[in-house]
Amino acid sequence: MTAVAVERTSAPLGRVLLAELRWVLRRPRNLLALVLLAALPVLIGIGIVLTGGPEGGDGPPVLAAVAGNGLVLPVATLVLAQTMLLPLVVSMTAADALAGESAHGTLRGLLLAPVGRVRLVGVKAAGVLAMVLLSVGVIAVSGVLTGLVIVGGDGMVSLSGTTLPLGSALGRVALAAAWSATQMAAIGAIALAISSLTDHPLVVMAATMGTLIVFGVLGSLPALDWLQPLLITTGWTSVVDVLRDPVVTGALVDGLLRAGCYLLIGVSATVLRITTKDA
């Protein structure tokens, strides 16, 4: 019995992971963010029903396809949310994960506890990923329900003009949600890396959102077309390609590869910083 006690040099992974997820889901601002994200498709759907959709070419073209075509609503909402709202929620979660813990003095206890530092990064990354999946999932589910109840339609009219049955339409929504979640996971990884460098959560949020704004500006300059493949924001609107029949996969695959690179860089930088951080 003594030997077993000596051999246990680290806390059980399941218990640490469960504690982190419980902590993430108990934060009032995280719960409030999920409520706001759930309300977003409802507000957009009501606005489209009352106004008949964008007129004169205002707004993203995908919004014009929502009128009478309810299952397009969740995809249209993801297009709008991933430009600002989703990255803000993700960066807020990543800021709390390390910078927030450091600011409150609880990170020191975690670094000194019997939890490996690489494992600690994995647990914090899992908390951020859980918030990413919940955020995107809430938008998708709320968008589908709102689209079916408020906007209407028993299937999906694709951007190619074909009509998809309910099952195929839901599959397209799930594909769009998975693609957006991958992009937000990459943002979360970068925000987590920034979070490991500072004790101020607001700095993490400002740096992450500022970087995305700069990327958006650089991506809009024709003279810097050569830089676009390196910017994570490049091709974010390509998620609407899931609404075509058949699905156009070129830009979607490029976006996944780009997000994967940022994800790897962010996680690697976080591991490097935490493993060398002075307790």
12, part of any domain: no
Q: Which amino acid is at 61?
A: P
User: Closest Cα to residue 77, out of 180, 2, 194, 205?
Assistant: 180
Rounded CA separation 157/221 (Å):
34
16, part of any domain: no
pLDDT of residue 111: 57
pLDDT at 267 over 90: yes
CA 232 from chain center: how many Å? 13
17, part of any domain: no
Query: Number of folded domains in the chain?
Result: 1
pLDDT of residue 8: 47
pLDDT, tens digit, 9 for 90 and up, residues 67-112: 778 889 999 999 999 989 999 999 999 998 888 877 766 665 555 5
Q: Give the pLDDT mean for 3-22.
A: 66
pLDDT of residue 181: 96
pLDDT, tens digit, 9 for 90 and up, residues 162-204: 888 988 999 999 999 999 999 999 999 999 999 989 889 999 9
Averaged pLDDT of the chain: 85
Ranges assigned E (strand) in 160-273:
163-164
Q: Which two tokens stand for residue 129?
A: 């990923």
Domain ranges, residue 253: 27-277
5, part of any domain: no
pLDDT of residue 120: 83
Check residues 208 and 161 and name the one with the higher pLDDT: 208
Rounded CA separation 84/75 (Å):
15
125, part of any domain: yes
